[in-house]
Amino acid sequence: MKNTVKLLLLLIAISTSAYAQKSIRDSAIVANLIYGTFSYQIPGGDMAKRFGAFSQVGPGYMFKTRSNWIMGVESNFGFGRNIRNEDEILKGATTSDGNIIDVSGIYADFNFNLRSFSAVGRVGKVIPAFGPNGNSGILLSAGLGYLQHKIYIEHKDKSAPQITGDYLKGYDELKRGLAANVFLGYLYLGNTNKVNFFAGFDFTFGSTQHARPYSFAQMKFNSGSFSDIYGGVKVGWIIPVYKRAPSDFYYY
């Protein structure tokens, strides 16, 4: 992880050193934009049959050209507690009232959560408008990448072997596949480099399949593909990296 961070910083330094500095106030300039995001998503399609609304956080990087084209990468980690049809998840392993008996003969303490991960590469365009300079404006981007999601069974005591270790893989309904992403919003890069952000509407369309070959709850081999959709509002806080203007030296 440390080597990856060092490599990213080196690439940013190399890319910025290749361009002459201009004032962000006066013109569109080259910029490296490192950012973190938070989003609130509402599922649709097959994903809505299992999960309700959830949140996402993640890091990202965009490179903006002088002509306001952008390209970059982004990843997101999703989490939430809105799980639908909970009585079906551990079907066959629970008592008639939906509980699990642990090794001590008492009810185990557990709950269900959503966990997801996505990573996309994206390209897009900034259309200057409503901003303090030519680097701010309407941001439209599209991306392609990877998506996975599952039911995370949280069982801290580890006292019930039915939901411990590899047995969890038979119940978590892990799905993964390709995903496309579209973002429409507004990018703001301040003249003083103190306030920089973007905000807008974010939509993801995934085509996923089962990652586990067998379902313990359904007692059958998994098959089929799924159309997983979610959309919502995303905001991001940006740390821009600009090249410093070189000092002028005069000789007489």
Task: Tell me whether residue 166 is in a domain.
Answer: yes
pLDDT digits (tens, 9 = 90+) for 212-247: 999 998 899 999 999 999 999 999 999 999 765 434
**Longest distance between any two alpha carbons in the chain, whole Å:** 93
Q: What is the residue whose two structure tokens read 């079906």?
A: 88
Residue 72 has pLDDT above 50, yes or no: yes
Task: Tell me whether residue 188 is in a domain.
Answer: yes
CATH code for the domain of 202: 2.40.160.20
The residue-averaged pLDDT of 50-79 equals 97
Instruction: Rounding to the nearest 10 degrees, give the CA dihedral for residues 226, 229, 230, 234.
Output: 120
Task: Tell me whether residue 219 is in a domain.
Answer: yes
Task: Tell me whether residue 66 is in a domain.
Answer: yes
Task: Tell me whether residue 246 is in a domain.
Answer: no
Task: Tell me whether residue 249 is in a domain.
Answer: no
pLDDT digits (tens, 9 = 90+) for 10-41: 544 444 443 334 568 878 889 999 999 999 99
Task: Tell me whether residue 136 is in a domain.
Answer: yes
Domain count for the chain: 1
Percentage of the chain lying above the pLDDT 90 cut = 67
Task: Tell me whether residue 123 is in a domain.
Answer: yes
- Residue span of the structural domain in which 52 resides: 2-241
Backbone angles phi, psi at 150, to 5 degrees: -160, 170
Which H or E run contains 205? Answer: strand 196-210
Instruction: Please count the other Cβ atoms lying within 10 Å of the Cβ belonging to residue 208.
Output: 21
pLDDT band at 186 (very low <50, low <70, confident <90, very high): very high
